[in-house]
Amino acid sequence: MAHRIVLLLTLVTVFSCAWGQDASRVAPATPEPNPPQQQNKRIFWIIPNYRTSQVTDKYQPLSTRQKFHMAWQDSLDPGTFVLAAAFAGKSQLTNADPSFGQGVKGYAHRFVTSYADWAIGDYMTEAVVPSLLHQDPRYFRLGHGGGFRRLGHAVGQIFWTRMDNGGHMFNFSEVVGNAAAVAISNAYYPDERTAGDNISRLGVQVGLDMAGNVLKEFWPDLHNKLSRHKTTSRAGL
């Protein structure tokens, strides 16, 4: 399972660096004027993107209610069900968790557990742990500068995050939240309960969140480019 996340991160990193460097040549190094509320709330029109905010000098913390609402949005977004279905399909093809069996019953079991992973992870990393530790679960997008700078900014927020008081500290919400989600998942993964299995699942989840940060950083650039290309193509007809 770990090799899949390494491949995903490699592909995302190569794409992001190439695009970020290209964007920095054709656009001034200033933040984009469009606030995150006006941007597409799904990356590639599938992946939920409710917790992205722009880096600004004036910081506004989230209330506990807002953190839980954010987790609720992410966990019930149609894109989350699509991702759960895709990961369940991958597990079905590789016969992961063989006790689940095959066929429709086996896939249904894998889909339910896959969705549970996403939903529990959302609540633990976006609501429960951030509320207890007064940390901000949002991704703060830089939106300007060179590709490598923005890539480092995206990856760094996995380990270093904002506090509700405006300060910064180690991102316990990400690590502890995902660790708690992995611990809970032992209740429904009878074939993967060893320490090694848990560490592997934690690494995969943190890796997916890291790739998600990179996509959140560069997706608006790509979305704008695709929109301009679509507009130009229509104008040329």
Residue of 188 and 50 predicted with greater confidence = 188
Strand boundaries in 100-186, DSSP class E: 139-141, 160-162, 168-170
Q: Which of 206, 161, 166, 158 is nearest to 182 (CA)?
A: 206
Q: What whole-number distance in Å separates Cα of residue 226 and Cα of residue 17?
A: 17
Q: 191 near 142, Cβ under 8 Å?
A: no
What is the average pLDDT value for the chain, to the nearest integer? 84
Helices (H), 41-189: 64-76, 78-94, 103-123, 129-133, 147-156, 172-185
Q: Which of 82, 96, 89, 83 is nearest to 189 (CA)?
A: 96
pLDDT tops 70 at residue 153: yes
What integer pLDDT is reported at residue 223 of this predicted model? 79
| Tens digits of residue pLDDT in 66-96 | 999 999 999 999 999 999 999 999 999 999 9
What's the rounded mean pLDDT across residues 1-23?
51
Q: 137 near 173, Cβ under 8 Å?
A: yes
Give the three-state DSSP class for 141.
strand
Q: How many CA atoms lie within 13 A of 217 on its CB side?
A: 31
pLDDT tops 60 at residue 49: yes
Q: What whole-number distance in Å separates Cα of residue 200 and Cα of residue 52?
A: 27
Place 2 in a pLDDT band, splitting at 50, 70 and 90: very low
What integer pLDDT is reported at residue 19 of this predicted model? 52
pLDDT tops 70 at residue 122: yes
Q: What whole-number distance in Å separates Cα of residue 26 and Cα of residue 159?
A: 31
What integer pLDDT is reported at residue 174 of this predicted model? 97
How far, in Å, are 72, 87, 108, 188, 197 from residue 99 at the CA level?
31, 17, 13, 11, 16
| Tens digits of residue pLDDT in 104-119 | 999 999 999 999 999 9
- Looking at the DSSP bridge assignments, the partners of residue 43 are 47
Could you tell me the residue ranges of all domains in the chain? Answer: 2-235
The pTM is what? Answer: 0.81
What integer pLDDT is reported at residue 233 of this predicted model? 60
Place 8 in a pLDDT band, splitting at 50, 70 and 90: low
What's the rounded mean pLDDT across residues 142-160?
93
What integer pLDDT is reported at residue 24 of this predicted model? 45
| Tens digits of residue pLDDT in 202-236 | 999 999 999 999 999 998 888 788 776 666 666 55
Percent of the chain with pLDDT over 90: 63
Percent of the chain with pLDDT over 70: 78
Q: For the CA atoms of 92, 98, 99, 102, what is the dihedral angle to 10 degrees?
A: 40
Q: What whole-number distance in Å separates Cα of residue 196 and Cα of residue 99?
A: 19
Q: What whole-number distance in Å separates Cα of residue 124 and Cα of residue 179?
A: 9
| Tens digits of residue pLDDT in 124-149 | 999 999 999 999 999 999 988 899 99
Place 17 in a pLDDT band, splitting at 50, 70 and 90: low
What integer pLDDT is reported at residue 235 of this predicted model? 58
For residue 163, the 8-state DSSP code is: B
Q: Which of 87, 42, 25 is nearest to 215 (CA)?
A: 42
